Amino acid sequence: MPLRNQWHFAYKDTSMLYSVLTDHILLNEPYRNGAHSTQHEHLVVMFEIDEESGYFYAMDLHQTEQPVVDSLFVFRVSDIEQHSLKEPRRLEICWSEDGYQAFLLINGYPHAVFDFRQFVGYNHTKFPMPELGSIWVHKETTNELVEKWLR
């Protein structure tokens, strides 16, 4: 059962990240859960695990025809050591204080981030490429970015 926390940690200089969803997951079991922005009800992110992989989705509920505006690859189940799949992971979805950045944390590490103001998705592979004609771009998560985000 998901737990709710009021806030998580400092972000950048004075902003905070607000943890809006906390759960425990197994990486090889189907899972789907998401969270609305803390400031903008139409902005939503969702994390999903199927039999093969984990993805983080950005949604804009004002886009009624296709609310999913971007997706980020998080992991492939087959790439994870078999014995490690049985270890529960702590999942958190956090939003920045202004409600425009969403963070997918697994065991406290930001595996995927959406910036709805800049239309940027961050992960380690920049996969998948945004759809042709999309305003979204993907950038690689670097150690410097992680350090900045988790200050």
Assigned domain for 3 exists: no
pLDDT at 21: 97
User: Residue 78 sits in which domain range?
Assistant: 9-149
pLDDT, one tens digit per residue, over 112-151 is 999 999 999 999 999 999 888 899 999 999 999 999 998 7
Assigned domain for 62 exists: yes
Assigned domain for 52 exists: yes
The total number of structural domains that make up the chain:
1
Assigned domain for 2 exists: no
pLDDT, one tens digit per residue, over 26-35 is 999 999 999 9
Assigned domain for 112 exists: yes
- The pTM for the full model equals 0.88
pLDDT, one tens digit per residue, over 96-118 is 999 999 999 999 999 999 999 99
Assigned domain for 1 exists: no
Helix (H), strand (E), coil (C) string for the chain: CCECCCCCEEECCCEEEEEEEEEEECCCCCEEEEEECCCCCCEEEEEEECCCEEEEEEEECCCCCCCEEEEEEEEEHHHCCHHHHHCCEEEEEEEECCCCEEEEEECCEEEEEEECCCCEEEECCCCCCCCCCCCCEEEECCHHHHHHHCC
